[in-house]
Chains A and B, each alone.
Chain A
Amino acid sequence: MQLIGYFALPVAFWFTIFAAAAFFYGGLKKDRRFIVSGNRAIYAATAMTVLGAFALYWALLTHDFSIDYVARYSDRELPLFYLISSFWAGHPGSLFLWGLELAVMVSILVYINRNDRDRAALPFTMGTAALCLAFFLFLSGFISNPFLQFADNFVPSDGQGMNPLLQDPGMFFHPPLLFTGYAAWTIPFAYAVGALIARELDDRWIRSTRLWAMFAWTVLTIGISLGAWWSYKELGWGGYWAWDPVENASILPWLVGTAYIHSVMLQERRKMFKIWNFALVSLAFLTCIFGTFLTRSDILSSLHTFGKTDATKWFLYAIAAITVSSIGLIVWRWPLLRPENHLKSLLSKEVGFALNNLLMMLILAVVFIGTMFPVFTGITHGTKISVDIGFYNTVIVPLGLFMLLAMGVGPLLAWQRSSVEGLKRNFRMPVLLSVASIPAIVALGGHRPVLGFITFLACVFVTACILQEYWRGVVAAHRGGHGWISGFAWMFARNQRRYGGYLAHLGMVLLFVGVAGSELHKTEREVFLRAGESIQLGPYQIRRGDIRMRQAQNHRLHEADLEVHRNGRRIGIFRPSRSFYDNRPDQAFSEVALYYTLVEDLYIIFGGEAEQGAAYFKIIISPLVFWLWAGCFLMSLGGLLAILPLSSRRNPSQLASAAG
């Protein structure tokens, strides 16, 4: 199977190169024979890539340690769950996963367009997608082939095993979802390039990308959220987002994607922002490649990187090629991309969307500059200087608050021009509710610091705006003869994108609540406790019990018993621990003890035993963290509801009319 895997990827690469050539030739010569041949070449390449994936799984599951990758990232003791995720634990495997997912998506793209003879842009779209796939298959087949064997037929008796930090359920879901999101952004990019080449510059390409873009955004949202959750419960530092370079790299395409899924509505409804949309979709794909590059280079130090690899320079070439070709194509077609309408009023939905895009781009610029700051200072001063979390908090928090408010205001504005009467009518209830909520915020202690107070108040305002929109939709459905519940379902199905989007906005509000609560009201204490000693922190009383060493499947656990009471009521025994994995016996990996409630999380880290029987613990009470995860869930759900085929009546013209 090793040989099959080794050769399947180069064979897939050549099929993809043929497909790209056939699509472009067929598109230029208008010869469908080549398009049909290109379609088949994509299916063949995908079949070969899937065969390669089967071969790698076969090698991992049968412990074929003659393969360097298998020996490096798995061992005989690794539980099956992690054996499956070891596929993408290293650089060659994760790159292969990117390519595998992209191959499947390009096949879907080809399949859904196989009978479409109307659009001259499609061959160029599929050719571009094939070229992107070819890039990944080139890397997996020739530069970082995961099937390479050790020299001189060496076969180790056991593998080195997976990095213990990766032995977490998060590893099973987080990387594949991120790569799915990255791969999915390839398709809108390909549609944009196809449209530019073929001069098909109306909004058909936008409609074609809508589903892919929403899918990519939703999957990235889920992937990033799971990454944050993994970091929170696994890394033992009490946080969920550290502004680590690779974390930042994952959020760049999300920010651009968020801007794109809003700005496309301007083109659909008002034929504006045409150039901007092409630029955004190119930037979204570019940031995906940039993020993948960052994890495969040594230009920045991060927990997540694989260090410099053979593929690093090829990613730089790809970034340069995408940048030059995107700019070149847009400049080439610039005269044909003039907006057909112009802004009529500053109080309009158009301005709301433009403001959304501006804020997203500002946040993107801040994250990019912060991430690359060590590289810039390395070039200018010869020393890499990193920015700390304070930089991001100082700059992004105000921008984030503006964005939050824009989420409330934007949906209530009218297209073209909002009348003063209309604004009064739309904003009366949200403003009144916000004012009425002030005593409640103060009573719950949310008025300090001022930043927290502003955040909570803005959250109430935006929630009221969104709920008012839902309410109006349901009332309209009710007047049309629907019941209240069936009216809600009818309203949702009639315009999934709008109401799914509002749900995502509501999720973002909850996320702000969680971040404000946990960052501004966190209580933290570091203590040494002997057996029988206890500590009171907030409503929690924590009493230390025994400490023991226990053997698990592939690691030893050094764990402490802690009896926890909340306001005098016994919650139970908590066991924070430190794991010593068989493949890293000298290194301790913290396993935190967590107690979730709707109000706060109790987070306990065990730091090991000190002298005279005392043991070190770090105890954190993080308020409202639950709402952060609930917000991530709602955002993901909103994205899913926007794209799932809930209504059988949907067709392209209805979709177009439903925009915004």
Chain B
Amino acid sequence: MVIDGQIFCGMLISAANALDNNKTIINNMNVFPVPDGDTGINMTLTMSAIKTLSRSDGSLSDVAEKGANIVLRAARGNSGAILSLFFRGMAKSFRGLDAAGSTELARAFRRGSDEAYKAVMNPTEGTILTIMRTCAEKAEKGAAGKYADDVVGLFAYIGRKAEEALAKTPEQLPVLKEVNLVDAGGYGFVVILNGMLAALRHHPVEALSADEDEEESVERTFAEVSTADIRFGYCTECIVEKDTVHRGEGSADSFKHFVSELGDSMVFVDDEEIIKLHIHTNHPGRVLEAALEYGSLMTVKIENMRNQHSEILGVSTSTAEEEPVLYRAIPEKKYGFVSVCMGDGIRDTFCDLGVDQIIFGGQTMNPSTQDIIDGVNRTPAEIVFVLPNNKNIYMVAQQAATIIEDKKVIVLATKNVPQGISAMLAIDPDAELDVNMESMNAAIDAVKALSVTHAVRDTTLNDVKIADGQYLGMVDGKIDTVCDSLDDCMKQLSAQAEGSSFITIFYGEETTEEAALTVAEYFKEKAGVMADVNVICGGQPLYPYLVSIE
């Protein structure tokens, strides 16, 4: 047996379903006990776009290429970015092949792993990368030995080794051991492998229906995602009157089998004299052509389901297979800015600072490569700076930058909102690029970012006991204080303001202005009378306070 395009396509879809069914588990494998676990959602959203692949998209080379492109554009979060690079590497390795045996599969794993490693500047062991590399090593070993002619066996072997590698991740990453978890991204990758294997064994993983999965992500309700979720665009129905040669019940088994590969939701009635067929497919023509071999078409009905769906939603039609329709703004100025952020007040602040395009996202809601590409395209400037404002969005932003060709795109390494704001304050619209780069990067380094959120479970981190519901005060992403009351937490954090002159406090959606003004007093006290302390209603979720200190 070999893996051809159709089988590979089924494997990818099965993997996407498997992820979808497990995303909540993966989300909860967050090292920090903070309410922003998003690896599961990121990986799921990255992979679910693959469900738009149609089952008969040609050779393995073609399917892998299409699949990789879809995943690349849908990539969200670092885990999603790494995943997309893995599939990209696989696709490159499969280029030109109709099908793959063990040797080709092993090569593809190696290439995928290599491509993923290349993109990460400081690869950390004990993460998804380790699992990928282990898979590549074991695949090579298996293909050269026991599984040289058994691609299914090889895949199963790779899957087992991946699970073993995953179980070892706590030994490689001390922080995982401390919180007694395996790496979430690695776990997701193992889920993907298992999903692919299941399909290879003819038992592909089906998606659980939405009501079985209670934590359906909010953004999946966006209209465009929903239309993309319709994998097969045409509801095709026909009744065939069997010609004399084909009379008899069950005479059309091979037709049934052929059609079933062209779509889903099939209803097939193979009667004595007629065949009645209902199927959702992307190829109504092929269905009808094949039907003609058994007799004449009595009735035919074909409906475009995406159109219907779009009409219901009141949006224009766009099918997933088309290139997304893009609006490209013509450059009107030298510099433009795309910033990722959450919260109305923070958005307004960025707009006030001259940001052209805001991409909604941040903790728990990472934008995709395509979201960032769209933002850049809409920005009417020759040079577009992208401010990810989150370390988990940086990679995807860089990926977007490599895809965009007609504009110069520079991704700034802003890990949080305060850094993003400082970078915007440092820009001089009349200065040369290198001057601006230097001053923006210096500004990013000069700002101290405080954030406060609450723990979502009991844990011990760096020998500090943290109880569910306690407030965690973080300085530049590291836990600094753990308190039962938010007020105490801010009091302690205010020590960070000593000697500073410019402090901005963004209070979140769950905080009142009154409380924020009290907190501002703590900071004023530490910073001294001449310091400016601004209090802004940031409106961000999950984080009662974000504070920028300069």
Bind each other: no
Q: B residues engaging A (CB < 8 A)?
A: none
Q: A residues engaging B (CB < 8 A)?
A: none
